[in-house]
Structure 1
Amino acid sequence: MPLPFSPYLEKNGFIFTSGQVHITPVGKLLEGTIEEKTTQVMKNLEEVLEKAGVGFKDVVKSTVYITDISNYGKVSETYATFFTENFPAREIVCVKALPDEITPDEITLSIPNRNVRFSAT
């Protein structure tokens, strides 16, 4: 039976991705540091984005969930390596618990003409 969700969905000029976790290509949760887990999450997202015909340069909004706020800096540094241009709007949400201490990330993209204006920080 297929899982009851889609890796991504395109609707009304937007692409929405399902949350991704640090699962490896062989279907097992990656054991390792928070940086290694974050890298795996981002690689999984990259694969979903490629299937949708877009890339990290097209991302306009991102939400990251973590269970330990002390990992904020490590997650942010690793996350930043996947963007070569303007960073999307983003929030990191610290929650009490996640299954298997996963670090999910979900992304929203705007794709009408792929011309997105970013504000300077």
Structure 2
Amino acid sequence: MLRQTGLELDLALSAGFFTIRDDQGNVFYTRDGRFQRDAAGNLVTSAGYFVLGEDGQPITLPLDPVTITPDGVIQDANGNAIAALRIRDFAPLQLERAGEAYFRALRR
């Protein structure tokens, strides 16, 4: 069940996984959408992992509030697109657990 948190960067998905990257360059997938800005303005998970855009790069946010459309496009206060979230979908057997809320894609 989805509920509003009132926090600007809390997101939820009805399907798929957010794509994230740690400081060592490892890519993971999560459905945990409790995101925040780090000191450099990057969109990060609660563990500090970078949230990736469709281009595979970390998303840097402006200081001003942003909005996120239902299709994952992040917009600035003027409605200009900043980035699109990289959302990926997997069959259950294509992922392995890599932490409490994180998964790794299996190589086949």
**TM-score strictly above 0.5:** no
Task: Pick 1 or 2: higher relative contact order, CA cutoff 8 A, min separation 6.
Answer: 1
Considering fraction of residues, name the structure with more helix. Answer: 1
Considering fraction of residues, name the structure with more strand. Answer: 2
Q: TM-score, normalised by structure 1?
A: 0.28
User: Which structure has the greater CA radius of gyration?
Assistant: 1
